[in-house]
Chain A
Amino acid sequence: MSTVRDWAAPNPVTENRSGLIGKPVDRYEGRLKVTGTAAYAYEVETPAPPLYGHIVSSTLAKGRITAIDTSAAAAAPGVVLAWSHLNVPAQAARGTRLNPRSQRASNPALESDRVEHYGQSVVFILADTPENARAAGGLVRITYAAEDADLDFLSSLDLAGPAPGEEDARVGDFEAGYSASEVTVDDTWFSPLQNHAQMEPCATTAWWEGDKVVVHTSIQMVKGGQHALAETLGIPSDRVRLFTRYIGGGFGGKGQAYDDLTLAALAARESGRPVRVAYTRQQMFQATIHRPAVQMRVRLGADRSGRLNAMALEAVTHCARNAPFVEHAASFARNLYAAPHRLTGHRLVLLDIPHAGAMRAPGEAPGMLSLECAMDELAEKLGLDPIELRIRNEPEVDPDNAKPFSVRQLVRCMQEGAQQFGWSRRHPTPGAVRDGRWYVGMGMATAIRGNFLLPAKAGLRLTGDGLATLTQGMTDIGTGTYTILAQITGETLGLPLDQVRVELGDSDMPPAPGSGGQFGAATAGSAAYETAMVMRRRLSELAAGDPRSPLYGEDPTLMDFANGNIVLGNRSESLAALASRAGPEGVYVEGGISPAADARDWSQHTYGAQFAEVGVDSVTGEVRLRRMFGVFAAGRILNAKLAKSQITGGMIWGVGAALTESNPVDPRFGSFLHQDLGGYLAPVHADIVNLDAVLLDEADDKANPMGIKGVGELGICGAGAAIANAVYNACGVRLRDYPLTPDKVLAALEAKGL
């Protein structure tokens, strides 16, 4: 096992001699996406004309199906089959694991007469056209016996219990420290249930080739999807070939397989035809996961100079009764500010609503909406600038575990951000700046998000035409994976980008963990780098051992790679020539990355500072973003253009979280109030003005051989809090109930007599 010390030596990526690393090249698959020729899961060509599936969802939250009549649906025009729990083909019982080393358990669809949440799949129709399938779905008659259900989070708080297997994290004596503090803040925030609302609904196209099923599905994790389907069908994993080449947004919501995958595979087997199944937009809300609501109590105690003495973050959140998930909304605070007395923990309410799960920056995204506002409240009580307060609580070592930071540029992010944003123009008194009917204010917040490296592999083939093709069972959910892997491979092998190909999203390829937790770039990228290094060694040895090579007999460890050649002194040979002599298949190698044995001896995070200026309409209470700016530090940046797109995309998610996004549960039915994009308000173009970000120069040599880290989730962290702080600065209204919609703002303004 390697150690971080092995990673510190200069290497082709860190030396970056041809300058491909960091270069803002266009997206590798961009041409396919702008011409509409990138085939997403529902759109792949099938070996024969497909049939179309349609899922009927339950309109009950909890109970039993007492009667189900699919006879009219089955007899409707074009219908091939109509399944309910009564006649769906056999699947492995839920939770079964048959295959050794399977990463997932079986997940059967239409499993029984039990209904566990509104929107659960209850009937599946297969027909010759989408119109016939959908129309037949409307002919199904279902009778339910309802049971008492816990549906409303805020009225069920007394049901909250400890998160399973977790204990509160305590350092020092919080209660004593808090009561001894000269200045305190004690407030409770609410962050609502939110939906991913990826633009591409979950979809699968499936067909069988003998006893092997081929599925194209929209999923972030290749192996997870392959294993889940194999377990559900009760077949060996190698009889499931899963492709996921282009994914229309994931954000954590496609980290797992859903019923579209299972039902498409089953229906294709039953009908002998290719099958396409997609969720409707309405089904996306309740048949996939969501970010649960979080109620967070924050207590801060400080001395007069602003040094934190005590800090507590206590989160209550929820998940589905039979699908455990904890939104770790308090955990980030453990690594953010120094304080001798600390308490952080999570309580969980089990509800009978759709499944909670990971959504972009799970934990930090809702959690930072509270602490980063509480810090501003504390700053105001102390008469300190919010940035100054944060700097005074900047720790020397990780306050959670006393580990040294690999690199931490949080203060620099705040200071550079303040300067570029014009923070000095902020008026410290709320309500002091008016622009016509608008109150205008500025706010800031910090951002922190962990950095992770997981084990991953990759394959690399060099062919006689001089092309290097990197293959990996990895995904690109819009994150730029194709592009950065091409850059890493090209730089490491000394090849120009037009000689590098990248193929992803195939379960037959060497495995990588997929896209999630902002670990994708570092994990998949490091595997690609290591594999390219294996290729360098292999090619060097080939050249040294081949009498036809100009480098024959030389020391392979001294050979270098540049401009498509392998080079030693003034002798060189093209990689194409070397590969073509190796045979018609060229040269193929595999390689991989594992976390260093001592990597966790350092505290590793990505950091940032968010700045926002808003206007609050004194007449309507509407909050409008006026400008937003962020400075971030996230290791070496592989592609300046794509990394910035990731970061600003995250910031815009923060705007949504602060101002518009929320999906209340209807306590009568257990359904979500918003089941479409007209009701669930993700930011639209006109909501976003003058928003920009910069990434600081950084290399984290404890992270991986390239010193890179993830950027996919950092941008959302703290973004909403900066806006809420700006709202307070604008008009003196401190709302702790997100999102800050006009009704709440207006009521608060009126309560203040404004």
Chain B
Amino acid sequence: MLLIKCPHCGERPEIEFHCGGEAHIARPLDPSQLDDVQWAELLFYRANTKGVMAERWNHLHGCQRWFNALRNTVSDKILRTYMMGEPRPYIGGEAQGAATGTLSYPAPGERSK
């Protein structure tokens, strides 16, 4: 069981949390501007990074706050947790992870091209 540091509550066991998948995918202000392919990409396609990935986590059975975490999907090590709305922190070197799912999410439709 992972030990996850909620930015509000501190370290708690994984059983208190719910993972909400890849982070830093903002809902567009006007979804109607996206064509079907772009919308499908936004809705269904995820980087599924092997390595360091930014994820949304919710401290469901605690403070109920959402926050983001950098987790290495291979080692299951959590390198950093940070507040929702903060940019993905730079942690340097290899630990920064692959280009996907990093600082800015690729524009919808980008990846299929």
Q: Do A and B bind each other?
A: no
**Which B residues contact A (CB, under 8 angstroms)?**
none
